[in-house]
Structure 1
């Protein structure tokens, strides 16, 4: 309600009100920028293949890529008519399209080929769904440490061994190897390794440790360390946040065009669960998550939905175009519409959060 007091919000000029409204989202984005700079300046380890061209090294059996005739050696050129130059860009592009058919261009023998692929749905941290077609770079984990007297050492494994496959199934990441070990308690398995440039196959038998198998080895993925200067950290932070912002807007547009599933959205319960998982990984992972949340809040608050800061700015812009202020009644109706949209969105994300909690999901017979 407008009282006419000189210090109240509605008594200010449109420019002054715009400055007040825009500062919240701007501070959110600045916080994301600063937190990302702090993480980068402290030094981080990233997958060695992350910034490499997406040349297919492995195609998983019975995967979406295999069904679409994508083969090892193919160079992925674009996803959904958007150029991808690195594996990181490719995984981001595919990750946002679970169960949604997408066009993928590949380069094979000097020719550009088009493939229609429907990414399978995979589940990551906090049971968040993402798309995956089953192609990966030609990477394998190596053994960083081996416990004396444990099955790994007795089976002939050595520090530095590169794990190629188990029982003929390719091992791409350390998590793959850990899963196989855990599922083979007291069961011999054939492990193919690369040692000093030569391939060999060893028979090892994980022992029981609780209810899972245990070898006594520490597999790690191939990574590279990044330790930028302060200026480089700022530049990298700007670039990363710009990429994430583009991904956020792409997701929003995908929701509007129905190319992105609402199941990918996360609410307060999901954020709390993801925060707990990130905290277990260390402070850097938690700070990175905080930066991502802050950027999301800043950008989402700029959406032209009445009741949000962006909605108020949108209404002022319409008033500027109309060269008059709207009546209180019209503004109330616009704000009510915005409130309904936000409530629908809130119900959706909370429902998504609940379905990611196993015991609650079991109470939903329709799922």
Structure 2
């Protein structure tokens, strides 16, 4: 077991993860806005009172806020939480109004909003493509080479030489496909299709559960089938193929996120597994202590999370704005300002509630509640 990193390293690692990713996200909005001729009044990393900043020749205020848990770009004309034109906007001179966010057609506004999550996903693809090019990729065929005793595989009747072609609703091309699918579904029963002696068979498989601990003692629950490959294969990845691998791996991670959300909603996974900024900070410090490749991999993972979550159709998030723009494009007029106002208030309440929940979970994972209970007892 590796000794946990100290507070200073954890804070530095957290800043190195969150700061650049927030900057990249907001830079996507900013660059798209610049492309369509929208003036940016402020570009902030962090919220709240300004700690430091400067104003460039275009009149944009670049600044750091004291609460480093996000950021924003404030475009001219974007004057309300629902981004609706106001009386103040209507009174602007025509030349100034033409440079405002609300003066642009709905498709341009949608691109500006979508550019933030898009650039986060593009960054993750670039990182994962770089890893694939540098280290290659596993192309091990899904042929069983060994079956662990008293495992999910042995109970399902799997044997040496079976080729697995699908599990659940997912086709299988590589052995890694099995590992990723099973890891997210402990104790679930799914159909498994195999080819044995030239014949195709479908067997019920109840995926096993295993509690594992990482090098810092953190425990987590994963699903295991209990099989090993016949012959591991590791293949190099060329420069042109690397982006394709990066896109595929990004898609796999997004698929795992969707599965996790579905499992939490249906009760198959506990909400206690949701983590927030405190747990991200903890993991950031741990990954940096292990090494730079692991730390950069974490940056890719958090970047995908940031892009994916912001695309969810929740008011206050980029996806919520895109949802209203889609309605506007269909109706040929925007949703009423009052309806948007209430929707964004509800979205803000939901986000604050989620932040409270994950903070409680994080403090629980650090042992705070157990410590308080022991003191009371």
- When the two structures are superposed, what TM-score results if normalisation uses the length of structure 1? 0.65
Q: Shift of residue 85 of structure 1?
A: 1.9
> Equivalent residue for 1:308?
317
Match of 2:73 in 1: none
Name the CA distance, whole Å, in 1 between partners of 2:270 and 2:190: 14
Query: Structure 2 matches for 1:63-74, cutoff 5 A?
Result: 63-74=151-162
What's the offset of the Cα at 1:91?
Answer: 0.8
SS class of match (2:125): helix
Report the secondary structure of 2:150's partner residue. coil
1:24 aligns with 2:116: yes
Preserved CA contact (<8 Å) 2:142 2:173? yes
Residues 127 and 356 in structure 1, CA contact (< 8 A), matched pair in contact too: no
CA distance in 2, matches of 1:297, 1:108: 43
Q: How many residues align?
A: 278
Give the C-alpha shift of residue 278 in structure 1.
Answer: 2.1
Q: 1:349 to 1:252 in 2, by over 3 A?
A: same
Which residue of structure 1 lines up, in the alignment, with residue 169 of structure 2? 81
Distance 1:360 1:241 in 2: 36
Indicate yes or no: 2:226 matched with 1:134.
Answer: yes
CA contact (8 A) 1:97 1:260 kept: no
Aligned partner of residue 231 in structure 1, secondary structure: coil
1:347–1:127 CA distance, 2 compared to 1 (3 A): farther
Pairing partner for 1:44 from 135, 140, 150: 135
Alpha carbons 1:306, 1:312 under 8 Å: kept: yes
The 8 Å contact of residues 182 and 207 in structure 2, kept in 1 or not, is answered as no
Partner Cα separation in structure 1 for residue 191 and residue 357 of structure 2: 28
On the 8 A contact 2:145/2:229 being kept in 1, the answer is yes
Give the SS at the match of 1:230.
coil
Cα deviation, residue 303, structure 1: 0.8
Aligned to 1:122: 211
Instruction: Name the structure 2 match of 1:103.
Output: 191
Determine which structure has more spread, i.e. the larger CA radius of gyration. Answer: 1
Do residues 342 (structure 1) and 354 (structure 2) align? no
Q: 1:284 to 1:225 in 2, by over 3 A?
A: farther
Q: 1:326 to 1:224 in 2, by over 3 A?
A: closer
Correspondence 1:1-367 to 2 at 5 A: 1=80, 2=86, 3-4=88-89, 5=92, 6=97, 7-41=99-133, 43-44=134-135, 50-109=138-197, 110-123=199-212, 125=214, 126-137=218-229, 224=234, 226=236, 228-258=237-267, 261-357=270-366
Cα distance in structure 2, aligned partners of 1:323 and 1:80:
42
Distance 1:352 1:121, change over 3 A: farther
Secondary structure at 2:240's aligned position in 1?
helix
1:354–1:361 CA contact under 8 A, matched in 2: no
Per the alignment, do residues 111 and 97 of structure 1 end up closer, same or farther by CA in structure 2, a change over 3 Å counting? Answer: same
- The alignment's TM-score, normalised by the length of structure 2, stands at 0.64
Contact 1:98 1:131 in 2 (8 A): yes
When residues 361 and 321 of structure 1 are mapped into structure 2, their CA distance, relative to the original with a 3 A threshold, is farther
- Describe the superposition over 1:280-334 as per-residue Cα deviations: whole angstroms up to 9, x where unpaired: 3321221121112112211211111111001111012123323332222211221
Question: Quick check: 1:105–1:112 contact (8 Å CA) kept in 2?
Answer: yes
CA RMSD between the two structures = 3.0
CA distance in 2: counterparts of 1:225 and 1:361, whole angstroms: 47
Distance 1:71 1:359 in 2: 46
Deviation at 1:89, TM superposition (A): 0.6
The answer to whether the 8 A contact 1:122-1:130 is kept is yes
Q: Is the 8 A contact 1:97 1:261 kept in 2?
A: no
2:151 and 2:171 map into 1 onto residues whose CA distance is 23
- SS of 1:329's partner is helix
Closer/same/farther in 2, CA of residues 314 and 364 from structure 1, 3 Å limit: farther
Identify the structure with the greater helix proportion: 2
Name the residue aligned to 2:65. none
Uncovered stretches (5+) of structure 1, i.e. residues with no partner: 140-221
